[in-house]
Structure 1
Amino acid sequence: MRPRLRADVRYVKSPDGVYVRGAAGACTLTGDAGYEWLDRLAPFLTGEHALDDLVGPLPADQRAVVEHLVRSLFEQRLLVDAVDDVPHALTEEEQRVYEAEIAFIRYAADSAEHRFERLRSAHITVLGDGPVVAALLEAGLRSGWRRVSVRTRDDVEGLRAVARRAMRDSAQDVAVERGTGLPAGTDLLLCVSDRREELVEAARWGVAVGQVLVGGDEAWVTAVGAPERVAAESCWRRLGAWRVPDSDEGLLTGPVPGVIAAHLALSCFHHLTGTADEEAPVLTRIDLRDLGARTHRPRPCTRTGRVRLDAVAEPEGFAERVRSFVDDRVGVLGRLDEDDLPQVPLAVCRASVSDPESVLPAWAPAPEVAGWGVDREEARWRAALTGLATYGSLVDAGGGERLDLLTGRACVVGPIAARVPYRAPVGVAAGRSWAD
């Protein structure tokens, strides 16, 4: 064992021995000389010394005291075992300057220095314009970025001045140039834009990515990671499937750009140090009026290939399954609710449907469908199925060769007429099974 005391641990002498406290908890180690032993040991509990080496010269009774003290701190998570830490090549200057960042990693994972070295070694490119780019560059440099390229159509000299102010060590290297291309050797691409099309194009360049879409009174921030993890194209297509009026309130002032940048910079830190949670694609919406944040989880925006003709959707657990399809900003269905509809003599539910292919005119309201039943659950089931069927007609509105469900043969289907208000054409349906 190579014991290392956590960086935030503090201790004080108490009537019973020594009181020890840290972010992971607190405890009292009893014994007349507990405080004295810990105070003498603390400078050596850095993970650089093996426990056997520390106690080797001691008499047997004192060795037992020290081993018990270290074991107690380990059980209380106030001390960690650094025996499995991966070697690192950080300089003494890097370890000193970024002590807080390394300690932050250590709470989530082992080999903190090695993980931070991965961040230091990454070539990070920032692409975009405006105050959020400047704030992101500053936040990234302060978190330890060492090799940074910036491509912008904005004020190059202004961004260079930001970089000079934000640098924390002599090894940090920032190249700010005018342009929009991807520099060779980029490991991570961070993009800021007010146009979804630009972000979708950048996401197709095949490198790890993180993106920010800024517009009106809100900003949307993706996760940071491999393209398949972030699924940026699906995120932006889902967001664009709902018509939300644009506004330009001039809110990118004061601390607002810094708050937006902090979200992306922290995700970048977690990705590069390997401490990010492996989750499905996520979008974080930041309300620029009050800086409140809300997390949305868009469904992958893909076409379904061949499906099983014998598949059956069981009604049990329907509410949990359909919940992942419903979101007022990025959902397949915008809402699934009874609203103010009368519920007598039958229960009634309404669903709104997204249009990710922009089949309908930009001014058209989202299609709405309804479901009915003898109870709330059945009404919701019918509304969800009708909504999903309507959605299916919109994502496959171009027509072409399809499968005749009655004969099993191929047949030609014409394109769907996108009339407003939109109703799915005759023949579009959904059920729990093909038999339905």
Structure 2
Amino acid sequence: MKLRLVDHTYLAPIRNGVHLVTPAGPVTLTGASIARWVEALAPHLDGRSSLDEITAGLPPAHADLARSILTQLRDAGVVREIAAEPAPSCGDDEQDGGFAAEVAFIESHRDGARAAFARFRDLSVAVANDGLAADPLPEAIAASLRASGAAQVRVCDADGLGEEDLWSLDVLLLTSALDRAAERARFADRAARDGLAVGHVLRDGTDVWYVPVRVAKDDALVTVRPESLRARLRRAPRAPEAITGVHVEVAAAQVGRAVFRWATGTADPRHTSRPARLGPDLITSRHHCLPHPYELPAAAPAPDAVLTRVDHLRSRPAEDAQEFSDAAVRAADELFGPFRFLPDDSAAQSPLHVSEAEVSVLAPRPGASVRAVGFAYADTRIEAARRALARYAALTVDPRRLVDSGGAALAAADAEPAALYAALHTALYAAGAAGAPGGFAIAYDLAAGAPVRLAAARAFPRLAGQRAAAGEGFGATWDEAVARGLCTHWTRDANLIDDPAGRLVTADPAGLDAVGRRCFTLLAELGELPEVHDHGGRFGVTSLSFHRGGTEVARAAGTASSAWTRGLLETLFSVQQRIHAGRPRPSAAAHPARATTMRLDPGHVIDPDGVAAALAATGRRAVVLPLDHDPAVAAIAPLSLRVAIAGPHDLCQA
């Protein structure tokens, strides 16, 4: 087998290694001299030499090292093994029907180039105009496909496609306006039954969007329909406008090449499910758009399914922060994401890093913003993403996942999105105004270990009109997420504390974790240490409030150490804001009361099951609802939870 460097590979020496950028993603190899070795070997990786031929003539030690490096490059996908025969296509127009360049392109990416090109050439393709008058794109796209070698391409009107036409097609490209794009039921049915591949070219003002070709068997959580683009778009879609001839030509060429690469198996795996936008400036941008939950199937809620879900979440290993960060990128798209990061310059960034995110919402309610602060930029961004996804999940309800008082689903599994929005309004808003629950979510009673029905207005309090709702949990593990959501109730529920006014306390910073000690030191140096009140949290949860100049600036609950750290972080953030804004320091109390020193144990953790059992002894129940009504977001942030503390009137047996 011959060795060939993957096309469009770029390398750069780095300290103690080499960094390579490939169409499939970046690769880093380490070693003191590996960068020089890769640069020396690269000219020989043209598909004409085998491993033995490349290393022939080298001293034994150098040959072994070269073999090791080439093996690493092959295992990393930077080098491919190809058949030990001359490249079949280069310059052979007669054999390849005038498409030698296309076959050569395929051969540079994969084996079996001629067979792959033949499959593309033999595809039956229709470019169908779906409601756009005098649109030049369909003909231009068809011409681009023919120029790449497709032999069976036709242009037609979508309304004119009959059942026989659909059954004769392999690929259907629909051109339509984004503001009314919809995948017609008969096209979707044909795709599901026989594997018709469907792609979309959407017009939005002067923008041209391409939604990649997909087939029904593709993973629904990583493919996107045009309805999802329209539903998730942060602004209203625009009516199509006239575009220039150059814009038409470039857009058609990009669509044609994308279909060619999909059909021949040479597509960049990073882009196969990402819609692309080509604007009037002819700059292409690629976006992440998760499938809208109302475009995905939803199983009717069942108690056993909740138990299975909880068991799965409990048994998950601790989530790796970097893996979460890599996945969360798909949810942070500027145009279509469930959230987007706000610019870093929207807040002062010293001494604390501040990361803010704006959350979108599916229901007819305004979104929200979340914030995370900390000393490590990466950690702060990750926490902001977790908070944003938890807030989004708390604002997202699928009525098919709610039940009525008799246990029947509030909406049919095949309900249209408009019907789902109407059912959502009935379940939450109208019912809340009437003072009675309009639906129930099936949740998990922590103390009983059993499923229960929780009133929808308690399960999704923000959508039911409560602006400051407690109970949103997130974290790397089940216990961390449940404890976080559970402890927020101690900052708002007067029944969970003994002393509303609170007694003045202080702490030995040696008992704080590293972040808490750093906050304490900075605040002390600035002369900004807060007055801290202990409110006597019940059931082993500490509840503290932090004050400056007679004003409460933070409230935190959890273990004593974690509550101090969170409160000091928020206090330092408020001081940071005030200093950068140039506002005067608030006056301190003239005669501060004597403070009691609290005992802190940084190793202590909250036991959610123990707290739930203590609550149950008083007649109140800690109930956990996995916030997974948007499956695509739940796949990224599975430990987004709603933890409610409910009374008997809020619950019934599932």
Q: TM-score range by the shorter chain?
A: 0.5 to 0.7
CA distance in 1, matches of 2:203, 2:116: 31
Distance 1:212 1:224, change over 3 A: same
What is the deviation of 1:265? 0.9
User: What does residue 443 of structure 2 align with?
Assistant: 403
* 2:244 counterpart of 1:253: yes
Superposed counterparts of 1:413-432, under 5 Å: 413-415=455-457, 416=460, 423=467, 425-432=469-476
Q: Distance in 1 between matches of 2:269 and 2:188?
A: 19
The one-letter amino acid paired with 2:370 is V
> Partner of 1:332 in structure 2?
338
The Cα of 1:336 is off from its aligned counterpart by 5.6
- Aligned position for 2:110: 109
- Secondary structure of the equivalent of 2:346? coil
User: Aligned partners of 2:318 and 2:290: how far apart in 1?
Assistant: 19
Give the Cα–Cα distance (whole angstroms) in 1 for the partners of residues 106 and 225 of structure 2: 30
Q: State the match for 1:215 in structure 2.
A: 204
Amino acid of the residue matched to residue 276 of structure 1?
A
Q: Tell me if structure 2 keeps the 8 A contact 1:200–1:233.
A: no
Query: What letter is aligned with 1:326?
Result: A
Compute the displacement of 1:266 (Å).
0.7
Counterparts of 1:222 and 1:257, CA distance in 2 = 16
Secondary structure of the 1:387 match is helix
| Preserved CA contact (<8 Å) 2:202 2:209 | yes
Give the Cα–Cα distance (whole angstroms) in 2 for the partners of residues 422 and 199 of structure 1.
Answer: 36
CA distance in 1, matches of 2:175, 2:462: 34
What's the counterpart of residue 139 of structure 1? 144
In the other structure, the counterpart of 1:178 is: 160
Supply the distance in 2 between the matched residues of 1:287 and 1:84 (Cα, whole angstroms): 35
Q: Which moved more, 1:207-216 or 1:407-416?
A: 407-416
Equivalent residue, structure 2, for 1:273: 264
Alpha carbons of structure 1 residues 348 and 109: separation in structure 2 relative to 1, 3 Å: closer
C-alpha spacing 1:410/1:238, structure 2 compared with 1 (3 Å)? farther
Matched, 1:122 2:123: yes
Q: Deviations 1:160-205 (Å, cap 9, x if unpaired)?
A: xxxxxxxxxxxxxxxxx83576522211121211136424754563
CA displacement at 1:299 relative to structure 2: 4.1
Partner of residue 454 from structure 2, selected from 412, 420, 430 = 412
Give the % identical residues: 25
How far apart are 1:419 and its partner, in Å?
Answer: 6.0
Distance in structure 1 (CA, Å) of the matches to 2:338 and 2:290: 7
1:324-368, Cα deviation, whole Å (9 max, x unpaired)? 43221232322265442234575432111233xx3125xx4x422
Shift in CA distance, 148/285, structure 1 to aligned 2, threshold 3 Å: closer
What secondary structure does 2:337 align onto?
coil
1:98: Cα distance to partner? 2.8
Corresponding residue to 1:152 among 149, 157, 170: 157
Q: How far apart, CA to CA, are the structure 2 residues paired with 1:423 and 1:290?
A: 42
SS for the counterpart of 1:237 is helix
TM-score (norm 2): 0.44
- Could you tell me how far 1:112 is from its partner in structure 2? 3.0
**How many angstroms apart in 1 are the aligned matches of 2:396 and 2:161?**
35
Match of 1:47 in 2: none
CA contact (8 A) 2:212 2:272 kept: yes
Asked if structure 2 preserves the Cα contact closer than 8 Å seen for 1:212 and 1:222, the reply is yes
d(CA) in 2 for partners of 1:93, 1:375: 62
Give the partner amino acid of 1:309: L
SS in structure 1 at match of 2:167? coil
Q: Distance in 2 between matches of 1:300 and 1:330?
A: 10
| SS class of match (2:313) | coil
C-alpha offsets along residues 399-420 of structure 1, whole Å, 9 cap, x if unaligned? Answer: 4332225243222331547769
The answer to whether the 8 Å contact 2:340/2:359 transfers is yes
Distance, in Å, in 1 between the alignment partners of 2:232 and 2:277 is 19
Tell me the distance in 1 between the aligned counterparts of 2:257 and 2:172: 14
> Structure 2 regions of 5+ residues with no counterpart?
2-41, 45-79, 300-304, 403-439, 484-654
Q: Which has the higher helix share?
A: 2
Match of 2:363 among 359, 365, 383: 359
CA RMSD of aligned residues (A): 4.1
Q: Distance in 2 between matches of 1:316 and 1:96?
A: 52
2:281 to 286, 290, 293: 290
Alignment match, 1:380: 381
1:45-64 per-residue CA deviation (whole Å, 9 max, x = no partner) reads: xxxxxxxxxxxxxxxxxxxx
Residues 1:238 and 1:354: Cα distance change in structure 2 (over 3 Å) = farther
Task: Provide TM-score, normalisation by structure 1.
Answer: 0.63
Indicate which of 179, 182, 204 corresponds to 1:198: 182
Partner SS state of residue 401, structure 1: strand
Kept in 2, the 8 Å contact 1:119–1:272? The answer is yes
Alpha-carbon distance, 1:233 to partner = 3.5
Point out where structure 1 has 5 or more consecutive residues left out of the alignment: 2-24, 28-76, 86-91, 154-176
**SS of the residue aligned with 1:214?**
strand
Task: Check the 8 A contact 1:333/1:351 in 2, yes or no.
Answer: yes
Pair 1:433-2:472 in alignment:
no
